[in-house]
Amino acid sequence: MKANATFLTWTGHESRDVVGQVRFIDLLAAGSKLFHETHFRPLLLLDGQVSEVALELLRHDGSRLPVLVNAVLDRAEDGAPGITRVAVFDATERRRYERELLAAKKRAEDAEKRMTLLARTLQETLMPPRNPWIDGLDIATAYRPAGTGDEIGGDFYDVFAVSASDWVVTIGDVAGKGVEAAAVATLVRHTIRALAISETSPATILSQLNQVVLDHPSERFCTAAVLRLRRIGDWWDVAMAAGGHPPAIVLDTDKVPRVVGEPGHLVGAFPSVAYEDIRFELRPGTTVLLYTDGVTDGRRGSELYGEERLMRLLHESVDTAEPLIGRVLDDVLAFQGQEPRDDIALVALQVPPLPD
């Protein structure tokens, strides 16, 4: 190789040791040699030129000099590779800056990983880790976060026993997203659990919950539906109250879905609101579907998924709880191109049909 005086000054090599004695690659640090042969030279041979490749030169004293290298390959008439003209730039400062950039990028990636883990862990507190087994009642649930699922939402549900034949099922949606919405959802879920020990009426539970959410320092409010199910022989007596929540859909043995209940007032928005219990019976073969507005507010362009579409889907359904939930979720996701704009929570309860 040939080199100018600046190159020799930078690297500390003597002209007589370099010029005509070694190749450019011989002056590179080992890792740069590998990089030269696996990246730099192939690109140079293929494209005739290379720009801004970061390499390290070995100085005479053994220290390393970070450089940026541009190169152009001369070719003979027959296309055979000739000499390579190489321009070397001292990149000491730039390399330091790049290292800081890389370190900052890595810190940002680590922080993002921790955030995702935190959100996922928090999300898991919004619902039971697995559904309980209930004698005489099949239960199926589904939860799907909005979008790509990176952000934690405020949907929650719960199923728990007050006694062996006395169960409470709740579902709800705290306004907004993020850690704060999830924290309020956890508060709501556990407040309902605590209230259900002494209160039998879902309406009373909701009005006490209303005060708890109002007293909470966050400005969040929520929707919630609370069902109390008592087993009486082969059927269940249900008391239900809703606070700003989509009414339940009941599928009787006639296979015609019907809406049961009124949405009621939002929870945690206004002081002293009253809620109403409605009662119905779940006979063998009957199913109740509870859902959050992520289902009906599913959007395709300007078109809403809507309650009617849900009713049509359920019409004539003979599914048991698990496939029913799966079918609803698949349909809502397909409607929105698999990227729901809001969280979706679904709970289905079915009294097993009597054997023929």
Partner 1 sequence: MHPVEAFNVTDRGRPDGQVMVFAHGFGCDQNMWRHVAPQFEDRYRVVLFDFVGAGGARAPYDPDRYASLDGYADDVVRICRALGLRDVVFVGHSVSAMIGALAEVAAPDLFDALVMIGPSPRYLDDAGYHGGFEPADIDNLLDSLAGNYLGWSASMAPAIMGNPDRPELGEELRASFCTVDPAIAEGFARATFLADNRADLPAVSARCLVLQSREDIIASPEVGRYVADHLADASLVVLDATGHCPHLSAPGEVVDAMNDFLKVRA
68 binds partner 1 (CB under 8 A): yes
**Interacting span for partner 1 (CB under 8 A) from 68-76, 146-154, 158-166, 240-248:** 68-76
Which single residue is written with the structure tokens 């090599």? 13
Q: Which of 53, 162, 175, 212 binds partner 1 (CB under 8 A)?
A: 53
Q: Which is nearer to partner 1, 25 or 175 (CB)?
A: 25
Count of residues that bind partner 1 according to CB under 8 A: 37
- Encoded one letter per residue, x for contact with partner 1 by CB under 8 A and - for no contact, window 84-123 reads ---x-------x--xx-xx---------------------
Q: Which is nearer to partner 1, 55 or 159 (CB)?
A: 55
Phi (first) and psi of residue 175, to 5 degrees: -60, 140
- Encoded one letter per residue, x for contact with partner 1 by CB under 8 A and - for no contact, window 33-52 reads xxx-xxx-xxx-xxxxxxxx
User: In sequence order, what are the residues at sequence separation of 6 or more whose Cβ sits closer than 8 angstroms to the Cβ of residue 166?
Assistant: 228, 229, 230, 231
Q: Which is nearer to partner 1, 81 or 178 (CB)?
A: 81
Going by DSSP bridges, is the β-strand pair 287-291/344-350 parallel, antiparallel, or unpaired? antiparallel
Which single residue is written with the structure tokens 């909005």? 146
21 binds partner 1 (CB under 8 A): no
76 binds partner 1 (CB under 8 A): no
Going by DSSP bridges, is the β-strand pair 303-304/299-300 parallel, antiparallel, or unpaired? antiparallel
Q: Closest distance between partner 1 and the C-beta of residue 35, in Å?
A: 4
Q: Which is nearer to partner 1, 6 or 51 (CB)?
A: 51
Question: Is 308 exposed, middle or buried (CB count within 10 Å of its CB: 0-12, 13-18, 19+)?
Answer: exposed
Cα–Cα distance, 341 to 347 (Å, whole number): 19
**Interacting span for partner 1 (CB under 8 A) from 2-10, 31-39, 245-253, 284-292:** 31-39
Q: Closest distance between partner 1 and the C-beta of residue 54, in Å?
A: 4
Cα–Cα distance, 197 to 210 (Å, whole number): 17
Q: Are 327 and 313 in contact (CB under 8 A)?
A: yes
Q: Are 27 and 108 in contact (CB under 8 A)?
A: no
Q: Closest distance between partner 1 and the C-beta of residue 43, in Å?
A: 5
Q: Which is nearer to partner 1, 89 or 270 (CB)?
A: 89
Which residue spans within the chain are E strands per DSSP?
49-58, 64-75, 81-90, 138-144, 155-163, 166-174, 222-232, 235-243, 248-251, 257-260, 278-282, 287-291, 299-300, 303-304, 344-350
Q: Which is nearer to partner 1, 45 or 256 (CB)?
A: 45
User: In sequence order, what are the residues at sequence separation of 6 or more whose Cβ sits closer than 8 angstroms to the Cβ of residue 258?
Assistant: 249, 250, 252
Q: Closest distance between partner 1 and the C-beta of residue 148, in Å?
A: 16
82 binds partner 1 (CB under 8 A): no
Distance of CA 197 to the CA centre of its chain: 33
By CB under 8 A, name the binding residues for partner 1: 25, 29-35, 37-39, 41-43, 45-56, 66, 68, 70, 72, 81, 87, 95, 98-99, 101-102
